[in-house]
């Protein structure tokens, strides 16, 4: 019984420290009474926890003002945590689920030096995209991976990335003008996922969604691609909804706000 009570006390202490850190996250510096009030603690209790956190450099006190702020140890821990969050490792379970659910190729890409670079490709049993592999690039304006990222950035950045008109054509369906691309990206924003409707390869239909990093930047994208014979528009909508949710889950795992 005593051990259970001690365990509950320890858990309560952790909850209180977490509450104080969350309060400090809201402003650069705060006074003791502000922290106590926001965390629901009396000032003496709040001060005790603040001093304990300060010993571990999780909290710092401004000697001039007496106010408290988050400590540098949190920055070091956060940086280390981010460095461990490898996008391919984090995305692989979601990619495997998409492959198992739909049986079509699943692709992961990143924005790198102004290009869309494939990071991982899981091919379906009857893939229509044989040979695509990590390190290859995709066209910004003609692929669901590229358009998923473009739909999440500003108009000037879109123009900078895709280049001058006319845009490169790959099939009769490729978008060649900025105005047409802008309208397509607006539709992508409304849907939440992008569509490559035979724009990069004739007979190939792809659905993609952007993935945000820990800063909220749309740095990655995930897509499902297959022949249009197996991806009619109704199925494209179904796949798009699932891809969008997978992208959101991966973004959350990366620490996106």
| Alpha carbon distance 166, 122 (integer Å) | 32
27-38 pLDDT, tens digit each: 889 999 999 999
97 confidence band (pLDDT: 50, 70, 90):
very high
Q: What is the mean pLDDT of residues 16-26?
A: 90
Q: Does domain 85-253 have CATH number 3.30.450.40?
A: yes
CA distances from 97 to 56, 102, 210 (A): 41, 9, 17
Q: Let me know how long the chain is.
A: 257
**Residue 155, class by beta-carbon neighbours within 10 Å (0-12 exposed, 13-18 middle, 19+ buried)?**
exposed
* Contact call for residues 173 and 204 (beta carbons, < 8 A): no
Q: How far apart are CA 23 and CA 255, in angstroms?
A: 19
Strands lying side by side in the sheet with 194-197: 137-138, 115-122, 105-112, 218-227, 204-212, 194-197
* pLDDT at residue 82 in the model: 55
Helix (H) or strand (E) holding 222: strand 218-227
pLDDT value of position 80: 61
The band of 5, judged by pLDDT with boundaries at 50, 70 and 90, is very low
Architecture of domain 2-81: Orthogonal Bundle (1.10)
pLDDT higher than threshold 80 for residue 167:
yes
Q: Which of 81, 189, 207 is nearest to 144 (CA)?
A: 207
pLDDT tens readout for residues 57-96: 999 999 899 999 999 888 777 766 655 558 999 999 999 9
Domain boundaries, the chain: 2-81, 85-253
Instruction: Give residue 4's pLDDT.
Output: 47
């Amino acid at each position: 019984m005593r051990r259970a009570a001690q365990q509950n006390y320890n858990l309560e202490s952790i909850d209180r420290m977490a509450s104080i850190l969350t309060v400090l996250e809201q402003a650069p510096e705060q006074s003791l009474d502000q922290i106590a009030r926001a965390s629901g603690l009396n000032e003496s209790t709040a001060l005790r926890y603040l001093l304990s956190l300060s010993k571990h450099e999780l909290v710092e006190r401004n000697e001039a003002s007496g106010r408290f702020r988050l400590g540098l140890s949190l920055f070091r821990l956060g940086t280390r945590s981010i460095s461990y969050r490898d996008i391919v490792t984090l995305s692989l379970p979601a990619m495997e689920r998409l492959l198992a659910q739909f049986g079509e190729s699943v692709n992961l890409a990143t924005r790198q030096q102004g290009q869309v670079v494939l990071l991982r490709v899981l091919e379906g049993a009857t893939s229509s995209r044989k040979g695509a592999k990590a390190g290859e690039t995709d066209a910004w304006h003609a692929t669901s991976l590229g358009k998923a990222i473009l739909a999440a950035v500003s108009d000037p950045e879109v123009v900078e990335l895709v280049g001058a008109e006319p845009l490169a054509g790959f099939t009769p369906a490729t978008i060649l003008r900025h105005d047409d691309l802008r309208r397509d990206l607006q539709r992508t924003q409304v849907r939440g996922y992008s569509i490559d409707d035979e724009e990069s390869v004739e007979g190939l239909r792809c659905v993609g969604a952007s993935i945000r990093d820990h800063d909220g930047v749309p740095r990655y994208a995930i897509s499902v691609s297959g022949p249009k014979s197996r991806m009619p528009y109704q199925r494209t909508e179904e796949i798009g909804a699932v891809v969008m949710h997978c992208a959101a889950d991966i973004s959350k795992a990366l620490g996106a706000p």
